[in-house]
Amino acid sequence: MGVMHIPGHDKQKPREVTLEEIRGVMGDCRLCPLYETRTKIVFGVGNPRARVMFVGEAPGRNEDLQGEPFVGRAGENLNAILSLAGLKREDIYIANVLKCRPPGNRNPRPEEVLACSPFLREQIRSIWPDIIVTLGNPATHFVLKTEIGITKLRGRFHQMGHFVVMPTFHPAAALRNPAWQELLEADFRMLGDYLARHPEDGPVIPATAHSDALPRVEE
Ligand code: SF4
């Protein structure tokens, strides 16, 4: 598989705000009750000029303790399968929809997503990736604005305005389900193939409005 190191994606969109500025605005955020139980805010980590941005759901136990997303077993799984797409951790940026861990890893509540998601939106606007990989249902539902389940959405790319979105399983969930792990790995190979066929200095992918029909742009 061709192309692959993506050290610094040179994009045309002016960065209106830097990641540091967004983190500065977040400060010691208390916009939702999750501040009461968190150990550390998990803002996000990676290449601020990444061509591929990964979005997960919320910090888990290890992430909460270390203040970094995708550490522990889920992070190890992600690191391993990144190579299937020809990517390394330093090529990408990773953030979650929620920046603080829900107690006991319960699902995020709508009001928590509402409170926290402006930070993610600003991160996406700052990084302005070409491709957003959503990991698991909550991140996928947030980015694609749909309630359709991940098993129906994965395995293809979706156009969402400027962004090409690739929904796939969360690496932590895939560790508990070998069939999902196989599909996750297949999706990452598909991502690698897409990147090889769409070098960043190649033709611009036409952006089409996203709809409930979820237009298929790549197979
Ligand atoms: S989850 Fe987000 S909105 Fe809630 S306290 Fe943490 S940073 Fe603030």
pLDDT digits (tens, 9 = 90+) for 120-170: 999 999 999 999 999 999 999 999 999 999 999 999 999 999 899 999 999
Question: Would the CB of 100 count as within 6 Å of ligand 1?
Answer: yes
Give the least confident one: 3-7, 19-23, 105-109, 199-203. Answer: 3-7
Burial class (CB in 10 A: 0-12, 13-18, 19+), 11: middle
**Distance in angstroms (rounded) separating the CA atoms of residues 68 and 51:** 20
Residue with CA closest to ligand 1 atom 4: 32
- Note the pTM of the prediction, 2 decimals: 0.86
Amino acid at the residue 6: I
Cα of 93 to ligand 1 centre, how many Å?
19
| pLDDT tens-digit series, residues 15-70 | 579 999 999 999 999 999 999 999 999 999 999 999 999 999 999 999 999 999 99
Q: List Cβ neighbours of 179 (8 Å cut-off, separation of 6 or more).
A: none
Q: What is the pLDDT of residue 200?
A: 74
Question: Would the CB of 35 count as within 6 Å of ligand 1?
Answer: yes
CATH of 42-198, one of 3.40.470.10, 3.40.1390.10, 3.20.20.140, 3.40.190.10: 3.40.470.10
Q: List Cβ neighbours of 95 (8 Å cut-off, separation of 6 or more).
A: 43, 44, 45, 53, 54, 55, 56, 69, 120, 123
Paired strand residues for 52: 131
